[in-house]
Amino acid sequence: MVKKDGTVIKVCIGESPKDPVLNITDLLPHLAANQMSKPASKVVEGEDLNLIIGSEKVAEEKAEKGKDPKASVMKNIKAILEKTYGIEEEDFLSAELEVVPAGEARDLGLDRSMVLGYGQDDRICAYTSLQAMLKVEAPKRTSCCLLVDKEEIGSVGATGMHSRFFENAVAELIALTEDYCDLKLRRALANSRMLSSDVSAGHDPNYPGVDEKKNAAYMGRGLVFNKFTGARGKSGCNDASAEYLAYVRRVMDEAGVYWQTAELGKVDEGGGGTIAYIAGNYGMNVVDAGISILSMHAPWEVSSKADIYEATKGYEAFLRAE
């Protein structure tokens, strides 16, 4: 939260086991006949995702009659926020707050081979990409780890891939090292190579009908390359060239990386996209490379520890390659 004077207040509730948590209620099935008759996309309406943040009235108003209970509860919450963070109600106008499933990531399975946690799409690829970047201290080529936001809503805004901040950063580097011209910038971008780090859909034995098994990603089989993504085939996707795929294959095999190729479900089943096509607009070689997960976009997602290791190893090999 940012106050009018520019003071930044960091808000973190629920990380510590001693912290309180907030909650969104659900309708009990005994009274949910009408709700259950709705299509799945309408079972819980967006405007019904209201948080429970308190229920206790201001102490001195508890016994008073005629007082609006909602107003009294809100007055108490405001007092708590002011005491804890030094903020007032209007400060919410300049705040960026997120409500996420509470709880630490856990080992999944009796063999502890998997990770259960929220938001692994796409923190899991951001983490492995950064770890690989930090391991390569003296790359043979100029390297960067580009972390962008808003991918699920179209990569828009100043922090999304459609922003020109990356292009501008490359322009600044050229200007600092030699005489700048727009042609040099465009050549630099077009001659770049990129792995678009994003998760892929792992084959789920509970829902085998959505995959074409010969072209599905499987948990525990390593880094996943999606030559193309897109909806209903290749609509709205990046399609990596055969030559670039051959190069990536060589890099991975020489480094001993376990990897697999996949498509995102059956051609006629649906599909999805990543930011790869945006980088492809510069003319650079780019292919999707990530980790397969189960329960994508659910409050708790599942990944394989072996795949996390292989992804880090694969990203590192890519950065070290000639």
pLDDT digits (tens, 9 = 90+) for 143-200: 999 999 888 888 888 889 999 999 999 999 999 999 999 999 999 999 999 999 999 9
**With contact defined as beta carbons under 8 Å apart, do 307 and 222 qualify?**
yes
CATH superfamily label, 106-320: Zn peptidases (3.40.630.10)
Angstrom distance (rounded) from CA 102 to CA 201: 24
pLDDT digits (tens, 9 = 90+) for 255-294: 999 999 999 888 888 788 888 999 999 999 999 999 999 9
Confidence at residue 278, expressed as pLDDT on a 0 to 100 scale: 92
**Paired tokens of 226:** 């999606």
Question: 4: which residues sit within 8 A by CB, 6+ positions away?
Answer: 91, 94
HSE at residue 87, side-chain half, CA atoms within 13 A, is 21
On the question of pLDDT at 66 being above 80, the answer is no
How many other C-beta atoms lie within 10 A of the C-beta of residue 9? 14
Confidence at residue 249, expressed as pLDDT on a 0 to 100 scale: 96
- Average pLDDT for 89-104: 91
pLDDT digits (tens, 9 = 90+) for 8-27: 999 999 888 899 999 999 99
Domain ranges of the chain: 23-94, 106-320
Confidence at residue 235, expressed as pLDDT on a 0 to 100 scale: 81
Instruction: Read off the DSSP letter of residue 195.
Output: E
State the chain's mean pLDDT as an integer: 92
On the question of pLDDT at 60 being above 80, the answer is no
Beta bridge partners of 107: 115
